[in-house]
Structure 1
Amino acid sequence: MPHPAIKSLSIIVLLLIFSSTTLVSAQTNTTAFSITGTLRDEQKAPVPFANVVLFQQSDSVQVTGAVSDEAGKFSIKAKPGNYFIRVSVLSYADKKIPRVVVANQDVSLGTVSMKSSAEQLDEVVIKGQKSQMEMQLDKRVFNIAQDLSNIGGNAAEILDNVPSVAVDVEGNVSLRGSQNVRILIDGKPSGLAGISSPDALRQLQGNLIERIEVITNPSSRYEAEGEVGIINIVLKKNVNQGVNGSFTLNAGHPANYGGSFDLNYRKNKINLFAGYAVNYRATPGRGSSFQQFWGTTELGLDTTFSYAEINKRTRGGISHNVRFGMDYYLNDLNIITGSVLYRRSDGRNSGRYQFDDFDGNGNLFQTVLRREEEREPENNIELSLGYRKEFAQKGRSLTADFKWIETDETELADYEEQRPEALIIQRASNTEDERNVIFQLDYVHPFGAKGKWEAGLRSGNRRLQNDFLAEQQNEDGNFEVYSGLDNNLIYMENIHAAYLMAGNKFGKFSLQAGLRGELSDITTQLPEENITNNRLYFNLFPSAHLSYEINKNRSVQLSYSYRLSRPGFRDLLPFSGFGNTRSLMVGNPMLNPEYTHSMEGGYLLNWENGSILSSAYYRHRTGVIQRISIVDSVGFRRMYPINLSTQDAFGLEFNVSYTLQNWWRLNGNLNIFRSITNGEYEGQSLYADTYTWNSRVTSKMTFFKQYDFQAGINYRAPRNIPQGRELSTYSVDLGLTRDVLKGKGTLTLSVRDLLNTRKRRTIIDEPDQYSNSVFQWNARQLLLTFNYRLNRNKENKNRNNQENSENGPDDGDF
């Protein structure tokens, strides 16, 4: 029998071939003519990069459009008929050209005069200063290019600068304090987002990213996966006519060298796009800890034991990201998009651990040194095919998407442990192979003046296999399997979903509600232990969004969603690492999903010089997955995930943007929340009640009309966890930028973590163990970046990328 994904792909290809053949045949019967013109301002200078849109005269339906080139010229193809044209561009008043009649010849409009608008120019200044965050009905959009500390960084570093989002030293992403967040690329799962490895985000260069979308209460349109919501990373893609693009080079200390480009070529019905990024890094990390364990054996012998650890690690290597694709416009209403994305990384990691062991009286009795050298090659390839059909009725659309993801990663490590009595040689291999096949169909149908309903189907097949083996060299020089560290895990996941949702605007009220059904068929196998765990369950996930526009400057939003979080792949692995044998991160193949009810209310206030968005939220979770620390018989720790009972989280969040002067603006975020976790494990209470907060404040100034300077402060307050406490952390980031080469290039100098304080500090205090640890991955980073834009200015690039992204159906207001 053929694979289900192959059958789905065959059906899609046949549909696309049929549609394209029919549509192309239909359009050959009518000749299209050109409508041309040249845009000039009041000083007779050309007006480039303006949006020129053609509408039908009879019903004002949008037909097609174009963008003026650097000389202000534009050209639009149109069939015979009666039309009007609307021209819009930053800093100019909109221009309407009525009564454009196309008969049996090309139409020349000659010179079209554009007038500067002082009122609109003021509006542009305010919007530009607030453009780091934009509000939509069910998400917040962060245009990351406006944040100087993001330039030259990778995806993990960029996410760490987004309000409400944090990335820990291991690369795990959390939103509003929870790591149960779904990360997507262009609205879909991707190996670039770290489906099975959080380190993947460090290998995705920020120069390929256009914007970040944070969806704290997703509608039924999205997958139900993710307790606190979805983070969508939108990659760059441009559809301007002709050739345009950007090129970036960066160099930094500690070792951080790279370059990238993204290019776009648009002519008539074809739009070609491509991007490439290469980066070499050697990121140092260091930490220390003190561990103490005490108790007695069955014979009454004292087992009190403690040790101090000092570790130094380096994580790095070279990575390549390649992306290319094509849009083919069958006509003005039908488009086919195909793209290929490939990533290759060759990681080189090393570590040195020193353990000073103390007896029950606190006397040092031995020192152990452990060294690690690891190679980590990885390949990721993604094939995407999409079809989008627009209808004559504005806002009505049908999209079909197919995606194939293949990932293979191998971790090969050699260990040398020097003890007083012997030299121990060990090695470990960890192979991860993953395949994802996704098909999605979405339909949007407007009704009335402001309403629309949507429906969709989605089917996803995912298979992962992880083979872990640790060995130790014996006296004869041969390697033998290390006891208990030979595991093979197979994870198979089939998720089938359908959704229906509708929304409308009633005066000042906007309402959107939906229902999603998901059938989950998940199997976890441990062949060597003959263990199979199969889960088959069906769930309904409702969502609702309500907004009320008090006036043009004030609005209120309410939302609700029901979601689930399936265990992550790393949480299921029995073993995935062997670097520090005294503190192993292990998984639990028997984990169950957790479920979340999420409610949120928001108030948005805009005024002449700024805006503030205040939100209150509540989440109730069941089956909460929490890592706990287990002490084995030797006195070493294992970090082990289990399903606790419940968790309730209450929070207040504030996002503020304020313009002090034309040259100085401030952005701030404050998230205050309380989290109550209640559960037990093997008779041990794991209750935690914490009040905590985190904040980020950014100040951006323009000096001498040439230099932009930015300073940002991040702070994460201490918080209680089920077995102890995480201490506070803070950091300061700086950036300075200047445009060069007549505005076509930009130089940026940035410093991340100026004071070298971004460290994770944790205390575990239990009846049988005590731990105090400090660790830092990303030390202070100095980075110099040069960006050159080809036929693309900054404002135009941002606007067009946002309007033409490929992340699924339109999410605009009703």
Structure 2
Amino acid sequence: MKSFSFITLFFFFQYVQVMAQNEGTEDLVISGKLEGANREPVLFANVGLYSAKDSSLVGGAVSDETGKFEIAAKPGNYFLKISYLGLNEKIVPSVVVDNQDVDMGTLSLKPDARELEELVVRGEKSQMELQLDKRVFNVGKDLSNIGSNASDILNNMPSVTVDVDGNVALRGSGNVRILIDGKQSGMVGMNPAEALRQIPGDLIESIEIITNPSSRYDAEGEVGILNIVMKKNIRYGLNGSFTGTAGYPANFGGSFNINYRKKKVNLMASYGNIYRNRPGSGTSRQVYNSADTSFVYEQDNNRNRSGYSNSFMVGMDYFLNSRNTLTGTLSYRNSRNTNKTMLAYRDFDFNNILTRTVVRTETEQEPRNNLEAALNYNKTFERKGQSLAFSAKYILSDETEAAKFNESVKGEAANVVQRSYNTEDEKNILFQLDYIHPFRGDAKLETGLKSSIRLLDNDFSVHQQDQNGDWIILPRFDNRLAYDEKIHAAYLMASNQFGKLFVQAGLRGEYSDILTKLKKTNLTNHRKYFNLFPSLHLSYKLQEAQTLQLSYSYRLSRPGFRDLLPFSNFSDSRVFRAGNPLLNPEYTHSFEAGHLLNMEKGTLLSSIYYRHRLGVVENITSVDSTGFTRITPINLSTGDSYGFEFNLTYDPFAWWKWTANANIFRAVNKGVYQDKVLSSDTYSWTGRVSSKVTLFQDVDFQSSINYRAPRKTTQGRDLAQYSIDLGLSRDILKGRGTVTASVRDLLNTRKQRRIVESAGYYSKSEFQWRARQFLVTFSYRLNRSKEREPRIDEDSGDED
């Protein structure tokens, strides 16, 4: 907390100092008033001040609520350029500033009906944008994303799946790195699955899928990176959006995202609140048969997770001048969940006769807090494309899981009463420096440094009440983990264009210093290693409408925090999920080739890929003679994955849009565990098809279907899963408001079904995390048009 206070004070004093310096400069003022055709004031129009000598932009302003504007200027010769959506651009020549202020009087702007009509048609962002090393999906265009959370949105992305436990996988692999705004965040640090459910989807701008990241990105993430880009806005004046959501089962929330920019200061704030009640249920059947003992039992699982979360961010951009920007943000997220579970075990003999029924209930309180402070400095130079960026971030997170259990046998008076505590405290400190230097033509050199420190402390214990009412610790489930991670990295990357061929090559070096210590059993694992991670991207323009891309990267996946914990949730007394403090990283060689075809009414992006993995981590299920099942991750095998993927957008008519994507792959894994060969060779695929129809110009109807085919694992198989989503939206309030009604999982079929088989053991389970959901959402845009959003020039920071 002292470090956080220091960062906050540093930012405050820097701001005061810069403001004081700025106040010392004396400029003259060019002022005026803007009117429309009917003499009404023109609000929030852009007024640019240009040098008459070389037409360079030297200043600017935006008209206020009365149409007035003021621009600070030094003596000289200038001209004004005034622009506003739907009005003709106006040029005011020969603006001469001598030794006094200049009053331009009233300036009239005329409407341009043709320009407004074209902007309405062409200004809408496409749902998918292709860049050299990533695909960008603008989530607001998908009606099924409105009123949802980050986990739901990710599940709608091509080649991304989210299972009933909230675990995210890309192209069938769970080793994917999740970032927020391109950087590590405490929001998805300790418990990503639950954290993603707490991020309101209304605050998300886009999702970037980076399957072969370049060297500028961390090497973490075997299958790539999912970057969640949060909404930002630096338009002049007061702008924002407000959203409210109501749904059944209980899902209520609201959010806003606003900013106010005037001259050199941009103030921004966002807030999101969610309350949800998520009922879930499932069944399973376990069969165990060995020379020593045999048993069969069935389990009914009924869960209800309810709670709220609040996400709040405030920040400020200060534009020191046209080429230097200082940004500070402070984010806080708080949530509190109440989780209730009832498990009913029915024990049978091998004649299928019920022998006893056991009922186990759980009530868990789960508060979580996350605080982040960030300071960023960005500088652009006179040479186009040259830039310097520095960022620092400090993160504090804490989470507590306190649960009470009661287990009883039908017909017996005695109860087993237990409780568990699991406290997780995390601290992160990050520093990053990036520099881009362009050369003649299209040549460019990028380099950077990064250091991150991550400190975690986890204390876990299970207590059981004896006959006297005293609490006794169960030694088997009592320990404390300290996890200290220090990663230092540097990268160098060069790119250039040779005719139709674009080449980008880079090399990243990372030094890892990771200490894992179980304090109560005095087990220590200290690992230090240095790796080089090359990357290569090639892009060749075959024709005007066709582009070919080739890429390679070498990556690793360090074990996640929960994969290292030797203890976990104690909800199910017969199935225990535990981590492995001795896990080592996975390493991956990834190759990909892609072809982009731009058609008159759509685009088709097709890719083939291959990944070779070493030290693949898999969850292994083992059962002892008492029927106690343990699921533990180990470095089991080597793996090879081959796949074909396509993304299609097709608009047969202006009012009808189709999108479709599919990932068809083969995964081969083979390893040895306890002298037994475990292997799998599976062919599988995932896909999504969506249709969006515009009716009566302001009504949109969307339908989509998601499908996940069966697949084999090293100890069994996962069965097929599918769901259907529908959405209907209409614009109101002259296009500034939108009402959306949607239903997710229309047929209530999104269930995880799994079979696990090993020597003498068989398990079949089915679970549904969340039932069918109905939602109604209202969105309102303040001083913003739905059809067209402004673009910020990255080199100058000016609004286009």
Q: TM-score scaled by structure 1? A: 0.91
**Alpha-carbon distance in 2 for matches of 1:58, 1:25:** 28
Tell me whether 1:664 sits opposite 2:660 in the alignment: no
**Alpha-carbon distance in 2 for matches of 1:636, 1:64:** 72
TM alignment of 1:66-105, pairs within 5 A: 77-79=72-74, 103-104=97-98
**Alpha-carbon distance in 1 for matches of 2:339, 2:385:** 51
TM alignment of 1:34-45, pairs within 5 A: 34=30, 38=34
Deviation of 1:639 (Å): 1.1
Tell me whether 1:229 sits opposite 2:244 in the alignment: no
Most deviating of 626-635 and 107-116: 107-116
Aligned alpha-carbon RMSD (Å): 3.1
Deviation of 1:643 (Å): 0.5
- Cα 1:84–1:362 change in 2 (3 A) is farther
**Alpha-carbon distance in 1 for matches of 2:527, 2:485:** 10
Most deviating of 305-314 and 106-115: 106-115
Tell me whether 1:315 sits opposite 2:305 in the alignment: yes
**Alpha-carbon distance in 2 for matches of 1:28, 1:87:** 29
SS in 1 for 2:520: helix
Residue type matched to 1:215 in 2?
Answer: I
- Which one of 637, 644, 648 corresponds to residue 636 of structure 2? 644
Tell me whether 1:438 sits opposite 2:433 in the alignment: no
Tell me whether 1:732 sits opposite 2:728 in the alignment: no
1:37–1:112 CA contact under 8 A, matched in 2: no
**Alpha-carbon distance in 2 for matches of 1:509, 1:55:** 37
- Which one of 176, 200, 206 corresponds to residue 201 of structure 2? 206
**Alpha-carbon distance in 2 for matches of 1:340, 1:657:** 38
Deviation of 1:99 (Å): 6.6
Q: What is the count of residue pairs matched by the alignment?
A: 792
Residue deviations 1:146-189, cap 9 Å, x none? Answer: 11111111111111111121111111111111111111111111
**Alpha-carbon distance in 1 for matches of 2:54, 2:497:** 21
- Which one of 373, 376, 384 corresponds to residue 386 of structure 1? 376
Most deviating of 562-571 and 95-104: 95-104
TM alignment of 1:171-186, pairs within 5 A: 171-186=166-181
**Alpha-carbon distance in 1 for matches of 2:490, 2:607:** 30
**Alpha-carbon distance in 2 for matches of 1:442, 1:152:** 36
- Cα 1:62–1:368 change in 2 (3 A) is farther
Deviation of 1:272 (Å): 0.8
Tell me whether 1:246 sits opposite 2:238 in the alignment: no
SS in 1 for 2:571: coil
SS in 2 for 1:240: coil
1:66–1:75 CA contact under 8 A, matched in 2: yes
SS in 2 for 1:623: strand
1:194–1:201 CA contact under 8 A, matched in 2: no
Equivalent residue, structure 2, for 1:367? 357
Deviation of 1:195 (Å): 4.0
2:593–2:608 CA contact under 8 A, matched in 1: yes
TM alignment of 1:256-655, pairs within 5 A: 256-297=251-292, 303-420=293-410, 421=412, 422-655=414-647
SS in 2 for 1:571: helix
Residue type matched to 1:181 in 2?
Answer: V
**Alpha-carbon distance in 1 for matches of 2:14, 2:422:** 46
- Cα 1:9–1:252 change in 2 (3 A) is closer
SS in 1 for 2:352: coil
Deviation of 1:64 (Å): 5.5
Residue deviations 1:274-328, cap 9 Å, x none? Answer: 111111111011000111111123xxxxx11111111100112111111111111
**Alpha-carbon distance in 2 for matches of 1:229, 1:248:** 32
**Alpha-carbon distance in 1 for matches of 2:331, 2:323:** 26
Residue deviations 1:507-564, cap 9 Å, x none? Answer: 2222211111111000000011111100101111111111122333221111111111
- Cα 1:40–1:290 change in 2 (3 A) is same
Residue type matched to 1:406 in 2?
Answer: L
Residue type matched to 1:31 in 2?
Answer: D
1:8–1:439 CA contact under 8 A, matched in 2: no
SS in 2 for 1:686: strand
SS in 1 for 2:385: coil
**Alpha-carbon distance in 2 for matches of 1:135, 1:446:** 23
Deviation of 1:684 (Å): 1.6
**Alpha-carbon distance in 1 for matches of 2:638, 2:55:** 54
- Cα 1:70–1:506 change in 2 (3 A) is farther
SS in 2 for 1:644: strand
* Unpaired segments ≥5 residues, structure 1: 298-302
- Cα 1:620–1:778 change in 2 (3 A) is same
Identity value in percent: 53
2:31–2:68 CA contact under 8 A, matched in 1: no
1:9–1:402 CA contact under 8 A, matched in 2: no
2:34–2:68 CA contact under 8 A, matched in 1: yes
**Alpha-carbon distance in 1 for matches of 2:719, 2:151:** 22
Deviation of 1:53 (Å): 6.1
Equivalent residue, structure 2, for 1:216? 211
Residue deviations 1:61-112, cap 9 Å, x none? Answer: 665666677998876555556677777887899x695977654354859445
Equivalent residue, structure 1, for 2:712? 720
* Unpaired segments ≥5 residues, structure 2: none
- Cα 1:349–1:809 change in 2 (3 A) is farther
2:190–2:562 CA contact under 8 A, matched in 1: no
**Alpha-carbon distance in 2 for matches of 1:348, 1:20:** 44
1:205–1:277 CA contact under 8 A, matched in 2: yes
Deviation of 1:750 (Å): 0.6
Most deviating of 706-715 and 54-63: 54-63
1:40–1:72 CA contact under 8 A, matched in 2: no
- Cα 1:531–1:238 change in 2 (3 A) is same
**Alpha-carbon distance in 1 for matches of 2:699, 2:727:** 10
Residue deviations 1:610-666, cap 9 Å, x none? Answer: 111111111111111111111123122211100122111111111111111111111
SS in 1 for 2:787: helix
Deviation of 1:500 (Å): 1.2
1:67–1:240 CA contact under 8 A, matched in 2: no
**Alpha-carbon distance in 2 for matches of 1:804, 1:476:** 72
**Alpha-carbon distance in 2 for matches of 1:57, 1:446:** 28
- Cα 1:804–1:170 change in 2 (3 A) is farther
SS in 1 for 2:583: coil
Q: TM-score scaled by structure 2? A: 0.92
Deviation of 1:244 (Å): 1.6
SS in 2 for 1:794: coil
**Alpha-carbon distance in 1 for matches of 2:433, 2:488:** 12
- Which one of 717, 734, 738 corresponds to residue 742 of structure 1? 734
- Which one of 120, 128, 133 corresponds to residue 138 of structure 1? 133
- Cα 1:361–1:337 change in 2 (3 A) is same
Residue deviations 1:200-238, cap 9 Å, x none? Answer: 111111111111111111111111111111111111221
Deviation of 1:249 (Å): 1.3
- Cα 1:122–1:674 change in 2 (3 A) is farther
Residue deviations 1:388-425, cap 9 Å, x none? Answer: 12222222221111101101100000001112443111
Tell me whether 1:757 sits opposite 2:749 in the alignment: yes
**Alpha-carbon distance in 1 for matches of 2:205, 2:510:** 31
